[in-house]
Amino acid sequence: MEILWYLTAPDGPYPWNKNGARKIDYAYMQQLARGIDHLGYSGALLATGVHDTWVLGASLIPFTERMRFLIAVHPGLLSPTLFAKMAATFDQFSKGRLLINIVNGTSNVMAANGLHLSHDDRYAHCDEYLTVWRQLMAGATVNFEGKYINVKQAKLGLPAVQSPHPPLWFGGSSEPALEVAAKHIDTYLTWGETPPQIAERVATMRSLAAKHGRTLKFGIRLYVIVRETEQEAWNAANWLLQRMDTESVATIQRMLTSGDSVGQQRMLEFHGGKIPKNVRDLEIYPNLWAGLGLVRPGPGTAVVGDPKTVASRLQEYADIGIETFIISGIPLIEEAYRVADLLLPLLPVSRTNNQQVPTSVNIPTWSSRTQIGALFPKENAEPVKEGNLG
């Protein structure tokens, strides 16, 4: 397995509410990146949302040695030629540690960025965009005139370290999205649906890719709530549920239902936008909890349990064909250490020879938000109100 963590604001004990959100600055991101780098994770996803992913990722290269940067990119906000130059530069400066997550976004988010294309047009645009980009990364001089992309004598002046290009990752659930992924993408990402649903998606994507003479790798984005015992894990999930106030849930659900993301609609079906009375009312599959989807854009499911149970559930996904897991907990820093201590030693994590997972990590037990706030000031913190947070 490859196990990536999450390196994206917002963060805090319950960051969907201003009372539980921390002030995230550059020092905080450095601390998180250093932890990911030395704890044994394969890399981190830098999702779209609060910070610019290229600036954030490039600024953290000097503070890391091994972790790979999965940089989220919106096609259409950069020309494919400029995108190729940025990718090659980042790949060179990081010594081949760049991964690229192609995010087509939703109509409302992309309109806010000045891109006004319908759902299906965004994927048709992406098809042309990646066609040009892949040719540029392979060293070709490109002349391309399509419906959306028109470049003349485009050429990349420097090669990337990874050949023919840094790997492309991509998530999308609609038919146009699946076709683009089958044609261009190296790793197809899905959000945390149940294992039977994921098995069906993997089979579909393998069939579509075969029509293009290609094979794909597969990844999944999940939250993890792991504790020494199963009861402690569900208590932690319930602690989060009790802090999902009606106003925050309503605000986020209005944002999510206004978009045209098919994958997001599939996530919404798990909970219906309603806060349950009992935490396990949203257990949609053994130890798979949909509660975080009430307050988090994008993937909203978490694997909940003791270390052996969580490892077993991840292995169930791996047996289906999932090779890469992008996981995270709340808050990011504390949970990165907790997961490294309790869970990673039970998983066959792919690492370079000089990466080791600590066998003993002293994790403080946070008994209250006051203790956390003493270490991580959150003055002027505000919850995120929009954006695709991966």
Q: What is the pLDDT of residues 201-233, one digit of tens each?
A: 999 999 999 999 999 999 999 999 999 999 999
Any domain includes 385? no
- What is the identity of the amino acid at 294? L
Query: Residue 89: its pLDDT value, please?
Result: 98
Tokens matching residue 200: 């069906």
CB of 389 closer than 8 Å to CB of 8: yes
φ/ψ region of 305 (left if φ > 0, alpha if ψ in -120 to 50, else beta) reads: left
Q: Does 386 reside within a domain?
A: no
Cβ proximity of 223 and 294 under 8 Å = no
In a domain, 313, yes or no: yes
Q: 53: domain CATH number?
A: 3.20.20.30
pLDDT in tens, 153-181: 999 999 999 999 999 999 888 899 999 99
- How far apart CA 16 and CA 51 sit, in angstroms, is 17
Residue 367 lies in a domain: no
User: Does residue 328 form part of some domain?
Assistant: yes
Quick check: is 390 in a domain? no
According to the model, what pLDDT value does residue 38 have? 95
Which residues of the chain carry a pLDDT beneath 50? 353-390
pLDDT of residue 258: 62
Residue 359 is predicted with a pLDDT of: 41
Q: Could you give the maximum distance between any two Cα atoms of the chain, in Å? A: 62
**CA distance readout (Å), 373 to 17, 21, 143, 248, 366:** 14, 10, 55, 21, 10
Question: Is the residue at 256 inside a domain?
Answer: yes
Average pLDDT, the chain: 88
Q: Which of 162, 191, 207 is nearest to 322 (CA)?
A: 191
- The residues pairing with 223 across neighbouring beta strands, listed in sequence order, are 302, 328
pLDDT value, residue 74: 93
Question: So what's the pLDDT on residue 49?
Answer: 79
> Residue 139's CB: how many other CB atoms inside 10 A?
12
DSSP annotation string for 113-129: TT----HHHHHHHHHHH
Is 379 inside any structural domain?
Answer: no
Number of domains observed in the structure of the chain: 1
Boundaries of domain holding 9: 2-358
